[in-house]
Each structure stands twice: as structure tokens, then as C-alpha cells.
């Protein structure tokens, strides 16, 4: 059995406040060894101006955000997915939205950079989003094989692009940190996550931002764990808090044997 844990947060523009919130949530949640703990997108700084992320961007392998997460992984002997936080790029005017996986020994196991930029118009209080203005898009598909299973990493808007998940090949758990808007979440969140779970025949754990943030942006929450059959294993609809579920990765094998979708697929990605 694998313990999946999602932290649903209402992050603020204050990094120290958000790091303290993660520490508190984990200390109160009886995190079992070898759990997979997932933080939401922009967990360390959210609700300010996008450009403000540049001021807290860290170099890979350095900085208080990475040090804090590594220390928590060691303390609880668990795997931690960092949601996203800003990491420096060669361009001083842009950062990458890094989604890193830390192992129980505190080591960095994987580093995914969000590929798809949220440059859209939404009928909400914010109206227009232009993520690419200050965020450099990633280009690499990232999966990592661990003792608890093969994990695929994606972030928020990525969920709308099924080619990314085809390129991941076989994975046991899809991890999706997010900060879905209230409007788009109401319309598409559950449908997209269930589609990915069903087509990949894998478990999905999605950790979301929730509520109204300092800049007026409203996020949807509804952190969820889904089964490879697309069933809801556990969900936290509203409010800050921790979602926990224990799943049997071996459940995938029966589903894959009965319905060998990957073998039947005639339109495989060139990445596979």
C-alpha cells in the first residue's frame, strides 16, 4: 500500500508564512514513512504580482525553499513533491516553475519544469492571465521510478494536453499540483483529471490552491485522489487542510490485463 497525501493551501505572497503552513500541516497529519506528499502549484508564494516571483527565485540546489522541503522529507522519511516554486533561468527577467521531487533522504530525485503556460482569458475577477510573461516554459517530460512506484510529474494547465501524458509511457501515479481558477475548475477540473486517470490507467493525486488570495484571485481547491478506473478515492472540496488516501498500486495490473489500452493504442507519441 502507498499513502498519498495532498496539502490544500491558500498560499500568500509571504514565503516564510507558506513554509510554516506546510510544516504545521505535516506535523499535525501523522505522515507515515514513505508517504507521497504533494503540495499545490505556487505553494511558496501566491497571490501577489507574477513579477514578484522573480525576487524569490532560487538556483537549483540552493535556497531556503529547497532546503526546507528537503529537511521535511528527511524528518518524515517521505517523498515530497514541491508543487511549484520559482527557479532562476539564464534570463534574469524569467523564472521556471519548478516541480521537484525530494526523497526520504532529502535528495532531489526529479525536477520537472511546467511546460504549458496559462495564457488565457477567464470570466473571473482577474480576467486575463499571461503566465509566459515571466515564466519560461519547460520542455522535458519527467517520470521517476521510486520504491513506491513510477511517478509522472505535471502541473495545472498541463492537464489539458493529453500528448504529455502519452509521452510519459507507463506510470503508477500521476502527480498534479495546481492552482485552477474557480471558473475553470467548476467547468473542467474533475473531467480532465478523470480522463487522465482512465487513459493512463494510473492513480492520480492532485493538490490544489483554494479560496480567495491576496490579489483577489480565486482558486478552486477540490484536491483529489483518483483510481486507475477513474473513481474518486478521496477528495477535499473546500478549505485548507490535508487529504490522505492509502492505495494499492497492484490494482493497476488487473485493470491493465483486462483492458490493455496501451497495447491497443495505434497513435503512440514519438516520445514513447
Is pLDDT at 242 greater than 60 in this prediction?
yes
Q: What is the pLDDT of residue 109?
A: 98
Q: CA 238, CA 233: separation in Å to the nearest integer?
A: 16
Q: What is the pLDDT of residue 266?
A: 86
Does residue 170 sit within a domain? yes
Does residue 272 sit within a domain? no
User: What is the tens place of the pLDDT at every residue in 82-121?
Assistant: 999 999 999 999 999 999 999 999 999 999 999 999 889 8
Lowest-pLDDT choice from 23-27, 127-131, 136-140, 212-216: 127-131
Q: Strand runs (DSSP E) across 198-264, as ranges? A: 203-208, 210-212, 218-220, 223-226, 232-236, 241-247
| Catalytic positions | 41, 114, 156
Does residue 133 sit within a domain? yes
Task: Report the DSSP beta bridge partners of residue 146.
Answer: 149
The domain that contains 235 carries what CATH number?
3.60.110.10
Q: What is the pLDDT of residue 244?
A: 98
Q: What is the pLDDT of residue 1?
A: 93
Is pLDDT at 190 greater than 90 in this prediction?
yes
Does residue 7 sit within a domain? yes
Is pLDDT at 24 greater than 70 in this prediction?
yes
| Per-position b or e across 84-102, b if 16+ CB within 10 A of its CB | bbbbbeeeeebbbbbbbbb
Does residue 136 sit within a domain? yes
Average pLDDT over residues 211-233: 97
Is pLDDT at 270 greater than 70 in this prediction?
no
For residue 251, with 0-12 CB atoms within 10 Å meaning exposed, 13-18 middle and 19 or more buried, which class applies? middle
Does residue 46 sit within a domain? yes
Does residue 270 sit within a domain? no
Lowest-pLDDT choice from 42-46, 69-73, 260-264: 260-264
User: What is the tens place of the pLDDT at every residue in 128-150?
Assistant: 888 999 999 999 999 999 999 99
Q: How confident is the model at residue 268 (pLDDT cuts 50, 70, 90)?
A: low
In this structure, the number of other CB atoms found within 10 A of the CB of residue 171 comes to 22
Average pLDDT over residues 26-52: 94
Q: How confident is the model at residue 271 (pLDDT cuts 50, 70, 90)?
A: low
| Total domains present in the chain | 1
Is pLDDT at 269 greater than 80 in this prediction?
no
Is pLDDT at 272 greater than 60 in this prediction?
no
Q: What is the pLDDT of residue 127?
A: 75
Helices 15-27 and 64-76, interaxial angle, to 10°?
Answer: 0
Tell me the Ramachandran region of residue 102: left when phi exceeds 0, alpha when psi lies from -120 to 50, beta otherwise.
Answer: beta
Enumerate the H helices of the chain as residue ranges. Answer: 15-27, 64-76, 162-167, 182-184, 190-200, 251-258, 261-264
Percent of the chain's residues with pLDDT above 90: 90
Count Cα atoms within 13 angstroms, Cβ side, for 1: 7
Does residue 269 sit within a domain? no
Q: CA 133, CA 122: separation in Å to the nearest integer?
A: 17
Torsion of CA 184, 99, 31, 8, to 10 degrees: -20
Q: Provide the pairing of β-strand 203-208 with 223-226.
A: antiparallel
Supply the pTM of this predicted model: 0.95
Is pLDDT at 58 greater than 60 in this prediction?
yes
Domain that includes residue 235, residue range: 2-264
Angle subtended at Cα 111 by Cα 242 and Cα 147, rounded to the nearest 5 degrees: 65
Q: What is the mean pLDDT of the chain?
A: 95
Amino acid at each position: 500500500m502507498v499513502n498519498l497525501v495532498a496539502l490544500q493551501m491558500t498560499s500568500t505572497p509571504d514565503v516564510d508564512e507558506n513554509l510554516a503552513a506546510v510544516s504545521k500541516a505535516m506535523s499535525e497529519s501523522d505522515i507515515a514513512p514513505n508517504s507521497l506528499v504533494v503540495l499545490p502549484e505556487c505553494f511558496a508564494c501566491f497571490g501577489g504580482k507574477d513579477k514578484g516571483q522573480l525576487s524569490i527565485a532560487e538556483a537549483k540546489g540552493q535556497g531556503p525553499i529547497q532546503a526546507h522541503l528537503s529537511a521535511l522529507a528527511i524528518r518524515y522519511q517521505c517523498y515530497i513533491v514541491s508543487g511549484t516554486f520559482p527557479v532562476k533561468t539564464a534570463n534574469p527577467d524569467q523564472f521556471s516553475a519548478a516541480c521537484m521531487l525530494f526523497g526520504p533522504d532529502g535528495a532531489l530525485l526529479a525536477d520537472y519544469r511546467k511546460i504549458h503556460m496559462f495564457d488565457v482569458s477567464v470570466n473571473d475577477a482577474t480576467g486575463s492571465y499571461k503566465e509566459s510573461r515571466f515564466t519560461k516554459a519547460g520542455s522535458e517530460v519527467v517520470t521517476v521510478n521510486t520504491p513506491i512506484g513510477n511517478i509522472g510529474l505535471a502541473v495545472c494547465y498541463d492537464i489539458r494536453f493529453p500528448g504529455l501524458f502519452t509521452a510519459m509511457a507507463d506510470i503508477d501515479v500521476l502527480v498534479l499540483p495546481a492552482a485552477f481558477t474557480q471558473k475553470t475548475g467548476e467547468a473542467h477540473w474533475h473531467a480532465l483529471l478523470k480522463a487522465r486517470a482512465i487513459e493512463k490507467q494510473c492513480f492520480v493525486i492532485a493538490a490544489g490552491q483554494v479560496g480567495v488570495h491576496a490579489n483577489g484571485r480565486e482558486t478552486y481547491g477540490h484536491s483529489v485522489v483518483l483510481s486507475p478506473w477513474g473513481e474518486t478515492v478521496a477528495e477535499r472540496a473546500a478549505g485548507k487542510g490535508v487529504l490522505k488516501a492509502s492505495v494499492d498500486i497492484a490494482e493497476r495490473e488487473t485493470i491493465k490485463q483486462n483492458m490493455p489500452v496501451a497495447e491497443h493504442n495505434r497513435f503512440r507519441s514519438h516520445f514513447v
